[in-house]
Amino acid sequence: METYLLDWVNLLIRWLHLITGVAWIGASFYFVMLDNSLSKPAKEGDAARGVSGELWAVHGGGVYQSQKFLAGPLGEPLSEHLHWSKWEAYTTWISGMGLLAIIYWFGANTYLIDQQVMPLTPFVAISISVGFIAGGWLIYDTLCKLLKGRDTLLAAIIFIFVILADWLLFQLFSARAAYLHVGAMMGSIMVANVFFHIIPGQKSMVAEIRAGQTPDPRYGVIGKQRSVHNTYFTLPVLFIMISNHYPMTYSHQQGWLVLGFIMMAGVLIRQFFVMRHGGIANKALVVTGIVLLLAMVVYLMPSTPDGEASGSISDAKIQQVVNQRCVACHANKPTQPGFVSPPLGLVLETSAQINQNAVKIATTVQTRYMPLGNLTQMTDQERSLIASWYAQTLTAE
């Protein structure tokens, strides 16, 4: 019953995370587009009112006019009805941390720890997890302050820092958890930018405008910088959110490097759209991003073992491995703690069931996606045996 209820909590929080994430990223993308698409106000009177740029747009059966006031409207009061874009970010982060706690902290032995990578206790692993997320923000924020006004150098160092964290996490956690923690660190940096810099700066700016003062320009500079960083983090974080469904990426021996190339592709593609909003279509950015992704497709392509060279492998021998390494979860009545039913309804108790699911078994074992956290200590020799057995079945067909 406890596991069943936990599954429902997982589902509802994941749904909330998806909804609020869409709202946050949608608002972020919209305002980046808006800011980079502004043109000078057509009416001289608007410029005299403090309008620095405007955008006319058509959507939803109507025509909209958006205007930007850098220092608020001149000669007229600031509206009391201001829309603040913050709760989407906060709720996305809170729900994301809830998922992290339910899956990777509560299930640390299954999802967070891989004893073959580093033998950690759940307490130590969870402490490292928390430390990475909090420490990532502190290091990033310090870099931003130290390299104030040197945005290009700062961007390069931040990228190197993320890749270094990516590599280090792969030396500590399971590959799946390592990917997730890179995303959690970056997502936490994004929401901390909103909470500690963007929103406080906007509140101070609004207070000064309403007091009849000229807003301190530092608020706008810092807010703009952190918003730009957030928009470039977005595509890498979105990829990491869905990556657990694609073990061929994170389970590779050099999974940290794979993530680095995929993140770079995301940054380049996002850069294309940011520039495109300003009227510059640098297609080389998209082409380079696609080339990086295609390079990963080729790099991750699994080799096919030679079934004949490996000799004849009996179904009985494979069933013995499966019984020892897989059936604890993939049984009508799983014996592995935390499972009340076989994952995805996949049962592997008989030779017929094993042969029926040969493709799925070979793929998930070869990519090291299964067993989860390698709880049953499947060896590399056993993985090779299953791969050769599957190649043998293809040859027989």
Closest CA to 188 of 131, 251, 269: 131
Show the tokens assigned to 315: 């179904």
Examine the domain organization and report whether 16 and 45 are in the same domain. Answer: no
Examine the domain organization and report whether 176 and 67 are in the same domain. Answer: no
Assess if residue 272 is contained within a domain: no
Count of all residues that appear for the chain in the document: 397
Assess if residue 138 is contained within a domain: yes
Examine the domain organization and report whether 58 and 97 are in the same domain. Answer: no
Give the pLDDT score at 293: 96
Name the β-bridge partners of 249. Answer: none
CB-CB contact of 223 with 202 (8 Å): yes
What are the pLDDT digits (tens) for 210-269?
998 888 988 888 998 999 999 999 999 999 999 988 888 988 889 999 999 999 999 999
Show the tokens assigned to 211: 């007091």
Assess if residue 141 is contained within a domain: yes
Name the β-bridge partners of 69. Answer: 51
- Strand ranges (DSSP E) for the chain? 51-59, 62-69
Assess if residue 367 is contained within a domain: yes
Residue after which a domain boundary falls, among 74, 98, 123:
74
Assess if residue 193 is contained within a domain: yes
Where do we find the tokens 């936990």? 6
Assess if residue 104 is contained within a domain: yes
Domain count for the chain, please give it.
3
The band of 203, judged by pLDDT with boundaries at 50, 70 and 90, is: very high
Helical pair 380-396 and 358-366, crossing angle rounded to 10 deg = 140
DSSP 105: I
Examine the domain organization and report whether 56 and 146 are in the same domain. Answer: no
The band of 307, judged by pLDDT with boundaries at 50, 70 and 90, is: very low
Tell me which residue range forms the domain holding 370: 315-396
Least confident range from 196-210, 262-276, 367-381: namely: 367-381
Beta strands 62-69; 51-59: pairing state: antiparallel
Give the pLDDT score at 27: 93
Question: Up-side HSE of residue 153: CA atoms within 13 Å toward CB?
Answer: 8
Assess if residue 177 is contained within a domain: yes
What are the pLDDT digits (tens) for 268-296?
999 999 999 888 999 999 999 999 999 99
Give the integer Cα–Cα distance in Å for 372 and 59. Answer: 47
CB-CB contact of 253 with 291 (8 Å): no
Examine the domain organization and report whether 369 and 346 are in the same domain. Answer: yes
Give the pLDDT score at 187: 97
Assess if residue 223 is contained within a domain: yes
Examine the domain organization and report whether 142 and 215 are in the same domain. Answer: yes
DSSP 79: P
Residue with the bigger pLDDT between 344 and 61: it is: 61
Examine the domain organization and report whether 12 and 159 are in the same domain. Answer: yes
Examine the domain organization and report whether 21 and 163 are in the same domain. Answer: yes
Residue after which a domain boundary falls, among 183, 202, 236:
236
Contacts (Cβ under 8 Å, ≥6 apart) of 209 = 71, 72, 78, 215
Residue after which a domain boundary falls, among 205, 236, 267:
236
CB-CB contact of 188 with 163 (8 Å): no
Give the integer Cα–Cα distance in Å for 75 and 242. Answer: 49
Examine the domain organization and report whether 146 and 70 are in the same domain. Answer: no
Examine the domain organization and report whether 137 and 183 are in the same domain. Answer: yes
Give the integer Cα–Cα distance in Å for 390 and 344. Answer: 21
Examine the domain organization and report whether 63 and 126 are in the same domain. Answer: no
C-alpha angle 161-269-37 in degrees, rounded to nearest 5: 110
Examine the domain organization and report whether 100 and 216 are in the same domain. Answer: yes
